[in-house]
Amino acid sequence: MVGLFKPMPKNFADRLLGQIRKLKNPSCVGLDPRFELLPDFLKGSNKPQALFNFNKKIIDATFDLIPVYKIQVAFYEVYGSKGFRALERTISYLKKKKKIIIVDAKRNDIGSTAQAYCQAYLSKKGLDVDALTVNPYLGWDSLEPFIEVAKRQGKGLFVLTKTSNPSSADFQDLKMKNGKRLYEVVGGKINEWNRGTEGKSGYGIVGAVVGATYPQEIKKLRKIMPRSIFLLPGYGAQGGSAKDVVFAFDKEGKGAIINSSRGIIFSYRNNPYKKRFPSKKFYLAARQAVIDMREDIVGKLNKRD
């Protein structure tokens, strides 16, 4: 009778929150390498190879502290098929370390095309990562394929809601006839789509991207989407601070992951790390930045309790 009943894959929210609890760390490292910013001694190889070598060192130096990594596809796609190969190698390496992987691709298209993006990232035939960021502008039928695959395969999604950049106001802050702003309407829809996907943790698999740079909007959106995990970019280099991001967490300190990319991986280029670590040891600077970030966020969360 073996094989008749396939076990349901474990709920993405439960897996993610479980790993966060285990490492007592709700932060996420963004693997967004840029060749120009790599230490000189790594620039000898061809560019995609250099990106992978850099990532490997960062992962080795941080994986015992970090539950989840976010990979920005653009920084690999920039080198075409060879860059994509570096992306694939980075993902394989993270899987060996049993880390949760979010691909930040902000993909979006009409349903039949969205299926191809699903297969590329979420299915076993593709890169088979844990979660993907998607853009909501095309509406439900463009997101349904992702959500259906995520439900079946134990994966997650993060839908852009209020993004961290200054111009996010252009459209996301527009006021609707009913008095709500566009990002609130999008948040309301995410909450609907997320309903029924909750795991034991109480959180579901349709999450939201909310900029760490907008604390007031984080507060509002937390109320609109009480069961969605928030992925917050914009901490550190973009100006978001621990006191801004605490609003994304529930009373038990759950429900959010804070991403830092440049602030971690390129910390060796800036003080206070530059003084303490030579560029040869950029990965130790990254490790220290991870420790400092955890202390900063967890410190603020504990203080709040």
**Location of structure tokens 């009409």:** 110
Contact string 60-99 vs a second copy (x = CB under 8 A): ------------x-xx-xxxxxxxxx-xx-----------
Q: Closer to a second copy at the Cβ: 22 or 177? A: 177
CA distance 94 to 55: 10
Report H helices in 177-281: 182-194, 215-224, 242-245, 262-265, 273-276
* Separation of CA 116 from chain center: 21
Residue of 56, 95, 97, 106 with catalytic role? 106
User: Which tokens hold the place of 287?
Assistant: 């490790």
Tell me the closest approach of the beta carbon of residue 270 to a second copy, in angstroms: 16
Contact string 174-213 vs a second copy (x = CB under 8 A): xxxx-x--x--xx--x------------------------
Tell me if 300 contacts a second copy by CB under 8 A: no
Q: Closer to a second copy at the Cβ: 110 or 291? A: 110
Tell me the closest approach of the beta carbon of residue 45 to a second copy, in angstroms: 17
Tell me if 49 contacts a second copy by CB under 8 A: no
Q: Select from 2-10, 21-29, 100-108, 222-230 the region that touches a second copy (CB under 8 A).
A: 100-108
Q: Closer to a second copy at the Cβ: 19 or 72? A: 72
Burial 44-77 (b: 16+ CB within 10 A, else e): eeebbbbbbbbbebbbebbbebbbbbbbbbebbe
Q: Closer to a second copy at the Cβ: 75 or 268? A: 75
Tell me if 271 contacts a second copy by CB under 8 A: no
Contact string 108-137 vs a second copy (x = CB under 8 A): xxxx-xx-xx-xx-----xx-------xxx
Tell me if 148 contacts a second copy by CB under 8 A: no
Q: Which of 210, 167, 215 is nearest to 186 (CA)?
A: 210
Q: Closer to a second copy at the Cβ: 17 or 127? A: 127
* Number of residues near a second copy (by CB under 8 A): 59
Whether residue 281 lies in the annotated active site: no
Q: Which of 45, 52, 46, 50 is nearest to 71 (CA)?
A: 52
In order of 90, 93, 182, 214, 223, the CA distances from 71 in angstroms are: 9, 12, 27, 22, 28
Query: What letter would DSSP give residue 249?
Result: S
CA distance 269 to 39: 9
Taking CB under 8 A as the criterion, the residue among 23, 37, 65, 169 binding a second copy is 169
Taking CB under 8 A as the criterion, the residue among 13, 38, 94, 160 binding a second copy is 160
Q: Closer to a second copy at the Cβ: 13 or 159? A: 159
Question: At a CB cut-off of 8 Å and minimum separation 6, what does 281 contact?
Answer: 268
DSSP string covering 5-74, please? Answer: SPPPPPPHHHHHHHHHHHHT--EEEEE---GGGS-GGGTTS-HHHHHHHHHHHHHHHHTTT-SEEEEETH
Q: Which residues bind a second copy (CB under 8 A)?
A: 32, 34, 72, 74-75, 77-85, 87-88, 106-111, 113-114, 116-117, 119-120, 126-127, 135-142, 160, 163-172, 174-177, 179, 182, 185-186, 189, 238
